[in-house]
Amino acid sequence: MSILKTLYNLYKASLHPLRVRSLEDYTALGDSLIIKPVLPGWTTPLSDLPAFILSFLAVQTFHEAGHAVAAVCENVDIVSTGVALGFPFIPGAFVALSQQHLSNISLRSHARIICAGAFHNFLLALLLSVVAYVFNGQLYEYVGDYGRAVTSVSKGSELYGYIHPNTIITSIDALTFSVEAPKNEADIDIWDRYLLSPIDQKEIASRPYAWAVDKEAFDSPASNKSCCLAGNLGEPINTAACFIPYQTSSLTSEQACFEPSEVMLQDTTDCRDLDEEKSICVRPHPWSHIVRVGYLGAQNEEESILLQSSKRYMWENLKVSQYTQKHPLLFPDWFVNFFSTITQYIIVLSVTFGLVNMLPIPLLDGSELVQVGLQTSNLRLFHRRLPRDDLIELEVGRTSSQAYKHDSIEKHTTRLLNAFTLSLLVFALGGSVLLQFIDSTV
């Protein structure tokens, strides 16, 4: 399960939409893909390219080492080993075995050597998953019950300098990351759900907390509403920001201007228990782009800060996790992130490399394994029909004809399997890339 979870977490983070759209569209196409290509700069960050290349080289080296170990166990000489540049300039390892020795060993031993590479890939993925599971509790602490740990902040964003890595965010606006937080039917993390989707009545009913202000001050005709004018929304806030009733849409005409710090830095109120004659629950107008971020301070005390940022902008430039480091001073952030990325890529590529290599496609282990299997079946059939010794001279012509026929059947079967498997693979990968392209441009 840990391998599948790693696969899910890796691709889930890499398939976020590139433009604003509804959350239903976001989950319908990207998350429905069964095969999701790992392409640095497209489906994964371009900064992952060095980690991807190192992981690919490590996986392929381990794969070829599996062939080499199995060959030594079967007394087959290793002619050469090394690293070569393949298309498109991706380094890859190789092991060349003695063809003379391979032709002299049994077909079962030959098949064992062929399967050793994929076996070592699966073994590597399993071992790394176990190591990651064991060390996860030693290096990381789960904070998902009460917050989200900041893993990185984009240096070019306006959030840089206000929010720092390893900070534990406990709330956004009136939303708290508690165990009691409502779950989504699609199991989308509450962080993504809140920052990407518009607030609807269902969300309001599930968490009816907001800020209470004096109703008379809100409804007063003499109150200044200039900050709520269409031309002023989204402008840098100096003294006042536009607020609307919590249970209304952004198109409502009920609006009022308040000092953000006087409203949003106060404790939130359960709007169901509010005296509606004296107070009213409000939230900032979505176009005002004000976000209240609650976090744990140096002494684990609750602190808050107001940021002028859209929720979408915050989601794009602030990366969070449900785990935080236990020893941030011992292991630098860059080391942990790089090691984690390398581990995830090795696990994913090991499973992928092992599965793909066992497909009956030319130049892959699976095609050679099919040939060995067909040779085994043909050899058994050939020996069954071999004539008696006293009839060899009379039957030599028919025997040669049967051998040629079996060889022809073997070649045709191999070609059909290769063509069929290659067609399925091209269809699956091509469709996946096409859907990914559509998902990133819609």
Q: pLDDT tens for residues 104-140?
A: 888 888 889 999 999 999 999 999 999 888 877 777 8
Cβ within 8 Å of residue 51, ≥6 positions away: 338, 341, 342, 345
**Tokens coding 394:** 């009379």
Tally: H helices and E strands in the chain? 13, 15
pLDDT attached to residue 350: 93
pLDDT attached to residue 212: 92
pLDDT in tens, the chain (442 residues): 344 444 344 334 333 333 333 333 333 344 444 556 676 766 677 777 888 889 999 999 999 999 999 999 988 888 888 877 765 566 777 888 888 888 888 888 888 999 999 999 999 999 999 988 887 777 788 888 889 998 888 887 878 888 888 889 999 988 888 755 555 444 457 888 888 776 655 666 567 788 999 998 888 876 667 788 765 555 665 678 888 888 777 667 788 888 898 999 988 888 888 888 889 999 888 888 888 999 988 788 888 889 888 888 888 888 888 888 887 777 777 777 788 889 989 999 999 888 888 888 777 888 788 777 777 665 444 444 444 444 334 333 433 444 444 456 666 666 776 676 666 666 666 665 666 555 555 4
Beta strands in 309-348, from DSSP E residues, in sequence order: 318-321, 323-325
Q: pLDDT tens for residues 392-408?
A: 343 334 334 444 444 56
Q: pLDDT tens for residues 224-250?
A: 677 887 655 556 656 788 888 887 776
Instruction: Look at residue 172 and give its three-state secondary structure.
Output: strand
What is the DSSP pairing of strand 168-172 with strand 148-153?
Answer: antiparallel
**Tokens coding 375:** 């040779």
Cβ within 8 Å of residue 202, ≥6 positions away: none
CA distance 97 to 245: 75
Q: Within 168-275, where are the H helices? A: 190-196, 201-206, 215-219, 260-264
Average pLDDT, the chain: 74
Cβ within 8 Å of residue 337, ≥6 positions away: 151, 152
